[in-house]
Structure 1
C-alpha cells in the first residue's frame, strides 16, 4: 500500500453514502438487455451512451473478463405438517460436499447453511415441500440440525433420491431476487436475472453487471476484436450484507468461492500490459485475488492442506511488490505441481480506498447501494470522483441497483 494512501481499516462507511430516492431503484429490467444507459467515465470525463454501443467505447486491445456463475433457485417455501409456512434460503453447502459444483450434483441427501424465515414458528420436526421434477412428482423434507449466528444448518432429503440437488432446486425453488426489490420472482425473472453466458450453477445473487450483455453485443465485441475470458465466482448473499461497524476494521467481509481455469491464467499472462477490464465487481475481486494468491504461491504458502484463500486485509499488510506476471507464473507453477487444470479458491478480499490495483485497468458495473462494500470498491478505483459519477447518474435519470443501468469506468 503506498505510503500516502489511507488505511481502509480506519475508514468510516458513512463517508461513502449518497441520497438514493426509492423511485430510482429499478424494479424490473428494461425490455431489451442492451438498451440500458451506459455512463462512460474516461480519465475524469463523463459521457452518456447506450449499452449496445459498449464495443465502440472500449480501449484498443481490451480483454474483458466475465463471471459465468449461474443463479440457483435457492428460496424454498416449505410447510409444516400443521400447515404453517417456513422459508429456507440456501446459502452454501456443508455436507457431504462444500464445493458448490459437487453439492449441486449430490443425490438423496445433503446439508446446507440456510437462512430461515418464520423460524420462530418452526419448533421441531421436519418441514415438507411437494414439487415436480423432470415431469414427475417429488417431495423434499427439511430438518433443522442447529441454529447459530443468524443461520441454520438444514439437512435435506428428497424422493426420488436419484435426483441431483440441482434438479431439486429447479423444481422446488424460487429465484432469490435482491431483498430491496421487495417482490416475488416471476417467470420473466427466471430469464432476466441470469446473464446470457451463465454456465455454472451456484450463485444466490446475479453478477448484475453482466445482465446488460445480449447475444448481439457479444457478437459485436467479437467483430471489434475484443478478447474475452471467463472466471466463476459464486456470488453469495453476503453481497447484500450491510456494513454496520463504525470503522471498516469492525466489518467482516463475506467469503465466496471461485474457480479459474489454468488456460485463463495463461491468457492473462499473454495479454501482458494491455487493458484488462472486469465485467462486474465479482470478476474484479476474482482477478485481484489471483494476484494475492500468486504472492502466496511465490512465497511457498499454498499447500494441499487447505483451499487457497485470500484474507480480507492481506493487501494492506506489509506487503509484496511482486510483479503481476510473476504472481501469475507462481500460480501456474503451483497448479502444475499439483497436477491441476483449475484453481479452486475462496476470497474475502475487501477493496476500498487505499487499495492498489494489480490486475485490472477498468470496470463495467451497475450503480450500487449507499454505504456498501461495492461502493467502496468503486471509490477505490475512481478516488473522490465516485461522487461526480453518482451525482451525474442521479441528475440524468439513470436507474440504480441490480436491474438498473450500467457504467464503464476507465480511470
Structure 2
C-alpha cells in the first residue's frame, strides 16, 4: 500500500476551528458493519448502544506543553514537550534557527531555565529546574493542533479536554471524548451501558506527517499506556454477556489492541508504537467512536483497517458532501467493525 491511497481533498472551511456551543451538539455519521451510512446527531449515540456494551475511554489530561524561550545567545526557541520522562526531565521537539546543543540553556521565564541534555532522534532531552508539570502549568500554553489557527483561549482551556480527563501527560486531546458531557454519561449509565478507563498519553507524533511513499516504511512514535485490572475485568464481563467493546477514540483502541497482542487483554503499563493498517486483525475492539482524520494520516489508515478502505472512502466523501466538520473540534463517527472480508 502507498500513503497516497489514503489521500483526499478537504475544503479548508470544513476544518472546525472552534468547538460547538455545547458538548455533544455535533453530528454523528453511523457506519454499519455492512458499510451503510446514516446521518445522525451525537446525542443519538445511546440509541446505538445496548445494555451489555462497554465504552472504553482514555482518561489522559492534556498538559500545557508548548513553551517559548530564548537561548543565551538571544535566539528565539519554541518547544513542544512530547513526553514527560521523569519529574524533572522531558523530551521535546525544538524549533530554532540553530538547534541548541547539549549543555545549552533555554530561558522560558526569568526564573526558569532549561538545560539541553542530548538529542534522541528528532527529540531533545531537557532538564527542568522544577517539576516539569509545575513548570508547564505555570509557563506553558495549550498545544492546539497545527490546523487550528487561533491562539488558545479560555474556552479552549476547558473544551480541549474531556470531562473525565484525570491523568496529566498528553500533548493532544483524545478528541472523540470531547463530545461526551456529564448528562450523556449519566444517561448511558442509566440504560446499563458500562464505562471503563485506559490511559494513553497522546504524543505530538499524532500530528507528524507521514513522509514516506510506502505505508510499510513509516515508523510510529512510541506512546505510554496503562490498562487497569478493572478494565480487563469489564471487558471480560461484556464479552461474557454478549456485549461489545467500544473504544472511544483511536487512542483507546490503540491501547486496548497493544495490550492484547499476545493473547487476551492484559492489565499493566507499557509502551506502544503499534501501527494499525488494512489487514490488521483486531483482537479486542468491536466498535469505535472517532472524529474525522487528516488526509494521508496513520489514523485514517487505522479506521480504514477497521471498516474497510472503500467504506471509509465513501464515508469521507459523504461527510464532505454533507458538510460535516472535520478534525479535533469537528463531528464524530460511530464505526461498527467490518468482517475480515469487507476490511480487505
- Structure 1 length normalisation: TM-score? 0.77
Structure 2 residue runs without a partner (length 5+): 338-344
Does residue 1:86 correspond to 2:77, yes or no? yes
Report how many residues are paired.
332
Does residue 1:39 correspond to 2:45, yes or no? no
| Residue of 52, 66, 75 corresponding to 1:61 | 52
Q: Tell me the residue number matched to 2:335.
A: 409
SS in 2 for 1:56: helix
Evaluate the alpha carbon distance shift between residue 121 and residue 382 of structure 1 in structure 2; reply closer, same or farther with a 3 A threshold.
closer
Measured against aligned partners, the alpha-carbon deviations of 1:29-48 in whole angstroms (never above 9, x if no partner) come to 11111101111112322111
Q: Tell me the residue number matched to 2:67.
A: 76
Measured against aligned partners, the alpha-carbon deviations of 1:188-222 in whole angstroms (never above 9, x if no partner) come to 11111100000000001100000111111111111
* CA drift at 1:121: 7.4
Evaluate the alpha carbon distance shift between residue 216 and residue 233 of structure 1 in structure 2; reply closer, same or farther with a 3 A threshold.
same
Structure 1 residue runs without a partner (length 5+): 1-10, 132-138, 159-163, 296-321, 332-341
Does residue 1:126 correspond to 2:105, yes or no? yes
* CA drift at 1:85: 3.0
* CA drift at 1:147: 3.6
| Residue of 5, 12, 18 corresponding to 2:2 | 12
Does residue 1:286 correspond to 2:255, yes or no? yes
Separation of aligned partners in 2, 1:151 and 1:172: 20
Evaluate the alpha carbon distance shift between residue 256 and residue 125 of structure 1 in structure 2; reply closer, same or farther with a 3 A threshold.
closer
Separation of aligned partners in 1, 2:127 and 2:300: 36
Separation of aligned partners in 1, 2:97 and 2:289: 39
Separation of aligned partners in 1, 2:97 and 2:186: 48
8 A contact 2:56–2:246 mirrored in 1: yes
Measured against aligned partners, the alpha-carbon deviations of 1:319-366 in whole angstroms (never above 9, x if no partner) come to xxx5xxxx24xx4xxxxxxxxxx5010111111110111111110000
Q: Tell me the residue number matched to 2:268.
A: 343
Does residue 1:25 correspond to 2:2, yes or no? no
Q: Tell me the residue number matched to 2:325.
A: 399
Measured against aligned partners, the alpha-carbon deviations of 1:34-83 in whole angstroms (never above 9, x if no partner) come to 10111111232211111122111224421100000001001111234565
Tell me the C-alpha RMSD between the 2 structures.
1.8
Evaluate the alpha carbon distance shift between residue 15 and residue 125 of structure 1 in structure 2; reply closer, same or farther with a 3 A threshold.
closer
Q: Tell me the residue number matched to 2:116.
A: 144
